[in-house]
Amino acid sequence: MTAHQIPIFHRWIRLACVGTLFACAGIAAAAAADVWPSRPIRIVVPLPPGGPSDVILRPMAAKMQARLGQAVIIDNKPGANGNLGAAEVARAAPDGYTWLWTTDTTLSINPHIYKNTGFKPGDLVPLNFAASFSQTLVCNPATGIKNVAEMVTRAKARTLTYASGGAGSPGHMLMEMLTAAARIQMTHVPYRGPAPAMQDLIGGQVDCGFLAGPTVQQSVKAGRLAALAVSGTSRSSLLPDVPTVAESGYADFDGTFWLVMLAPRNVPAEIQQRFLAALHEAVTDPAQKERANEAGMDMAGSTPAQALSRTDMLSARWQAVAQRIHLTVD
């Protein structure tokens, strides 16, 4: 493999690792690792409180706190589709007291669509892909559309609209990936978040949309929305009777998203290992798996090497979509 063939994100991390070797050298760094943690640890979540990310993280933080012997504080810093909180962590001292918990889209989508995210890809190091989740493709029942095949047929006959939580959101990128695979066109109607998008879907102002399972679950069960498919490679625990897009005729379709733990670059390896050991124990807790299933997610976990490889893969996937639709967000 030539230097030009190495994925861009991987090259950033390899450069960061060179810096880490120098930053971790010396007695001062070793001494800091020996006494860590000696004060509270902060996990920045660049998303609003009370969402699925919080549902998953808060019990994990409590378990990590018991193992590490220091308070683990969750600090919600929403804004700019995750960029504000991510940039704050990227600027933080690499001393093991500031970490980032976010969706993979912070690294896999945002750098490809924002002119300025406030951080460089190599400023943040993915450590653990802790949990996976998917989006649910729903349509207003008045359309009469009950499955993906019917949506594709209808879209070929007349213009259909679809809602999303905003330009560059998972629902936007997923639908563009599906319409490309199905060779159809649908008109995008972006909203400021999934809640207003769902309300207009229920009201009939738009026809269809990919939205988070927990967001649409009750409306699907009440018959206010028709669920066509889920975006991941396996069915959702929230709607087990709803097939995947892959089962619906698009075998290679994979719209899985992830909750990921990241660190500022140059955090000493010894500190990373201790932190990740506590995180692994929380991720693999049987009670945590049950809580995740209730929220429509699946606990997974990964090594830092696996996290880096998956970030490269997802970044390439969404970069291709963004380039195809010429998507930029100011």
According to DSSP, the β-strands at 161-164 and 187-190 are parallel
pLDDT tens, position by position, 97-112? 999 999 999 999 999 9
More confident residue, 155 or 214: 155
Give start-end residues of each CATH 3.40.190.150 domain in the chain.
3-132+257-324
Closest alpha carbon to 104 in 308, 325, 246: 308
Question: Looking at the domain covering 135-248, what would its CATH class be?
Answer: alpha beta
pLDDT tens, position by position, 42-87? 999 999 888 888 889 999 999 999 999 999 999 999 998 899 999 9
Count Cβ atoms below 10 Å from residue 322 Cβ, excluding itself: 20
The pLDDT value recorded for residue 330 is: 74
Q: Which conformational region is residue 196 in: left (phi greater than 0), alpha (psi within -120 to 50 degrees), or beta?
A: alpha
Confidence (pTM):
0.88
Estimate the crossing angle of helix 304-324 against helix 8-23, to 10 degrees: 140
The pLDDT value recorded for residue 50 is: 82
Residue 28 has pLDDT above 70, yes or no: no
Q: How confident is the model at residue 121 (pLDDT cuts 50, 70, 90)?
A: confident
Which position has the token pair 């929403």? 78
pLDDT tens, position by position, 184-195? 999 999 999 899
- Backbone phi and psi for residue 132, each to the nearest 5 degrees, phi listed first: -110, 155
CA distance 182 to 201: 22
- Containing 62, the helix (H) or strand (E) segment is helix 52-68
- Token pair listed for 324: 């195809």
Give start-end residues of each CATH 3.40.190.10 domain in the chain.
135-248
List 119's β-bridge partners, or say none: none
Residue 329 has pLDDT above 80, yes or no: yes
Q: How confident is the model at residue 6 (pLDDT cuts 50, 70, 90)?
A: very low
Q: How far is CA 5 from the centre of its chain?
A: 26
48: preceding bond cis by omega (within 30 degrees): no
Strand stretches in the chain, DSSP E: 41-45, 72-76, 98-103, 124-133, 135-139, 161-164, 187-190, 208-212, 226-230, 257-264, 297-299
Using CA atoms, how far residue 126 sits from 263, 303, 319, in Å, is: 7, 9, 18
User: Using CA of residue 315, residue 86, residue 46, residue 261, what is the dihedral sign?
Assistant: positive
Q: Which CATH homologous superfamily contains domain 3-132+257-324?
A: Bordetella uptake gene, domain 1 (3.40.190.150)
Residue 19 has pLDDT above 80, yes or no: no
